[in-house]
Amino acid sequence: MSFKGLNLSIKMVDALLKQGFKAPSKGQIKAISALLRQENLLYKGSTGTGKTHAYLIPLIDSFSYQNSSLEAIIIAPTLELNQQIANFIEPFISDFPALTYNLFNAKNKRMSVSTKNASNTKILISTLENVFSYIESQERKLNVNYLVLDEADIYFAENYFSILEQLVNIIKPRQIVALSATTKNDIKNKLAKLVSGKLTYYEEKNANANNLEHLALNTKFNDDVLAIKAVLNIEKPFLTIIFASKKEKCREIYRALADENYDCLLFTSDASKRERKNLFNTITRENGQIIIASDLFARGIDLKDCDLVISVDLPINSEFYYHRAGRAGRYLKKGKSIVFFNENSLDKINSFINKGIAFKLLNLDIKNLSYKPYRLKKKIKKEDPELTKEIKKIKASYSTKKHEKVKPGYKKKKQQAIEKAKWYYRTRKVKQKLARAKKNG
């Protein structure tokens, strides 16, 4: 289906063609159709599948440009993602001259590009924390048609949901749009309580699954920087993002690589808002070869040419991992997500595998700059010598000489005797441990 078949205006179809968009994705078809029917929407789609345009297109096409009222509030968790959404709006302004937006934060008050008059803003883009400052600054009550929650899973967590409820009660939006690459089961129920009217749920299967390869590399307790340099030499990527859970680790990696003249940038929450804005502009404009970042950078940031993500550690849960990995392999391009592990973190790797992440386990050979097959080591259980001796005695008592008649059920009785012995020695061990614990207070 083309955009022409979606009941969009000729002006919008022409604007999309100018931007190089010829046909919508399956998710965009579902989302645009639902929003044009004035339905609420919960859209779960993998990263890099065009979720932002899925809501911007119908909203921009539906606005009433004859009046100056604010029509949509878009909430996103970071300043960088807010800026990116604004960048997506910009190309539409030449075809929709009355389209204005306001990038708002509580300190700068407003950063509106296409109008000097704040009252003419059609779209407000803000974080959830800052949007209340904007509402307080307005002399008149807001009549908002659309509330968009980008990276929506964040706002339905316990610590944010009550704040979200307050916002909905204040602005009373006609339609709510919630989008994320990861959503938990309770989000649909919580959203249903907030909306009035029909709620459409659409889950897009991972469109990038075949383009993104997941590797877990056993670094054998080698230094992370040595492992990173080896991977960069093996993969020879165009653009790499290196994630670490702690800011201190990010700084350590950045200093080590910068000292060896790697072309790299550091992106963490330690930077001021101005510094982060400048960094983000540099990254999107110049596509620096290596970006070292905390999980702040994992949410929705769109770098089309990123072909490698390295996680020097595993994040707190699989949802965070999906957001990290989703920076690579976007727009149906090939990409790799590589995670470092060692024998101590193997259990966490396995827990992520059990949640559906198709890791290929390999050993990283730093010396020869290669990957080698990883084989799980079998854990050898230490047997209690007394138990081993007792089992031998039991087996000997049930053994029979050649041509001696075997008593009925002797195998079953022998096994029962062995199990009884095992139970006795196990319970004795537990009692001994409890006694020692009691003695040590």
- Share above pLDDT 90 across residues of the chain, in percent, rounded to a whole number: 42
Residue 210 reports pLDDT greater than 70:
no
Write the burial class of residue 283 (CB in 10 Å: 0-12 exposed, 13-18 middle, 19+ buried): buried
pTM across the whole model: 0.68
Residue 386: its pLDDT value, please?
82
| Eight-state DSSP code of residue 256 | H
Residue 274 reports pLDDT greater than 60:
yes
Residue 242 reports pLDDT greater than 90:
yes
Residue 33: its pLDDT value, please?
95
Dihedral class, residue 90 (left if φ above 0, else alpha if ψ from -120 to 50, else beta) = alpha
| Eight-state DSSP code of residue 29 | H
Dihedral class, residue 48 (left if φ above 0, else alpha if ψ from -120 to 50, else beta) = left
Residue 115 or residue 36, greater confidence: 36
Measured in whole angstroms, how far is the alpha carbon of residue 82 from the centre of its chain? 17
Q: At residue 341, what are phi and psi to the nearest 5 degrees?
A: -150, 170
Residue 441: its pLDDT value, please?
60
Write down the CATH superfamily of domain 3-203: P-loop containing nucleotide triphosphate hydrolases (3.40.50.300)
Q: What is the mean pLDDT of the chain?
A: 85
Structural domain boundaries of the chain? 3-203, 212-373, 385-439
Q: pLDDT band for position 36 (50/70/90)?
A: very high
Residue 377: its pLDDT value, please?
64
Cα angle vertex 296, ends 209, 237, to 5°? Answer: 50
Mean pLDDT within 230-240: 94
Residue 157 reports pLDDT greater than 90:
no
Residue 115: its pLDDT value, please?
47
Q: pLDDT band for position 425 (50/70/90)?
A: confident
**212-373 belongs to CATH 3.40.50.10800:** no
